[in-house]
Amino acid sequence: MVSSGISGLDHILSGGFPRGSSIIVEGAPGTGKTTLGLQFLYHGAVNCDQPGIYITFEELPEQLYKDMLSFGWDLRRLEKHNQLRVICTSPEVLLEQMMTPNGLFEQMVKQIQCRRVVIDSISLFQYGSDRKGVHRQAIYSLRNMLRKFSLTSLLIREQTHGDSGEMPFENYVADGLIRLSLQQHLQKYRKRTLEVLKMRGARISEGEHIYRITDEGIHLIPALSMVEDTIIARDQQTVSTGIPRLDQLLSGGIPKGSVFILDTNSKANYRNRSFG
């Protein structure tokens, strides 16, 4: 298994991504796909001795380097030490290079002993080809290339409103599918959730898991598994929080024996409350 570097995610995947697998990460703009991808590469390079390649078709590198520094990830330093390569190219050039024996991509993989790849994003492959067949061939070639070198890879895909129809072809070719969403919750809050819809060769924890983007990157709070939910539902006893309004929201209080995470920002005015 390949550790994702996202706290909480390895737990949901029972250890991490299967080695050499290609996983689609989809979500609307702003859901944190680029952050997740670079967190995966940064963690691999710094903590797992697994160098990586980040391929982008869109973001201006200068902005990217700056954005990632705000999480404390110095990408330039990794590049200097051959632990990372950032490539800005077009889908056409990338595919051409990947398919050339001993082409630039292959050389780079060997040069830094690359183990991880992120492509940001595969959505642009679609604009390059009007015909379905060409698009499918491109996705197949990409998948085969990544598999040939046993590169554990994240293929980022932008989700748009018109996506509800036909199942995208990539979903069948990829080994895994992770969806990031930003949802309206109780008409007041927005919550970020991550769902693993597919993962070949791994037992996954189903359901929507809430995540946060913080100064240290993405943090996931694994939802209780269905089994645990049943146990809690059976145990009707609740413990009062000491705050009547909160008890009401929780339908009586905190279920006895459960663990709740109190997550606040620095502006929240919270005091230690005792309850027993």
Ligand X SMILES: Nc1ncnc2c1ncn2[C@@H]1O[C@H](COP(=O)(O)OP(=O)(O)O)[C@@H](O)[C@H]1O
Binding site for Mg ion (CB under 5 A): 34
Q: Determine if 225 is a binding residue for ligand X (CB under 6 A).
A: no
Residue 35 is a binding residue for ligand X (CB under 6 A): yes
Give whichever of 22 and 35 is closer to ligand X, judged by the CB atom: 35
How many residues sit close enough to ligand X to count as binding (CB under 6 A)? 12
Q: Beta strand pairing status for 209-214 and 238-239? A: unpaired
Q: According to the binding rule CB under 6 A, does residue 72 interact with ligand X? A: no
Q: Does residue 34 bind ligand X (CB under 6 A)?
A: yes
Which of 36, 78 has the CB closer to ligand X? Answer: 36
- CB 239 to ligand X: min, Å: 32
Residue 121 CA to residue 13 CA, distance in Å, equals 23
Rounded Cα distance between 8 and 220, Å, is: 5
Q: 27 to each of 11, 32, 99, 112, 118, how far by Cα in Å? A: 21, 8, 28, 30, 15
Instruction: Name the residue with the smallest CB distance to Mg ion.
Output: 34
Q: Which of 63, 70, 264, 272 forms a contact with ligand X (CB under 6 A)?
A: 70
27 scored as a contact of ligand X (CB under 6 A): yes
234: its two tokens: 């059976």
CA-CA-CA-CA dihedral for 66, 50, 125, 180, to nearest 10: -70
Binding residues vs ligand X (CB under 6 A): 27, 29-35, 70, 213-215
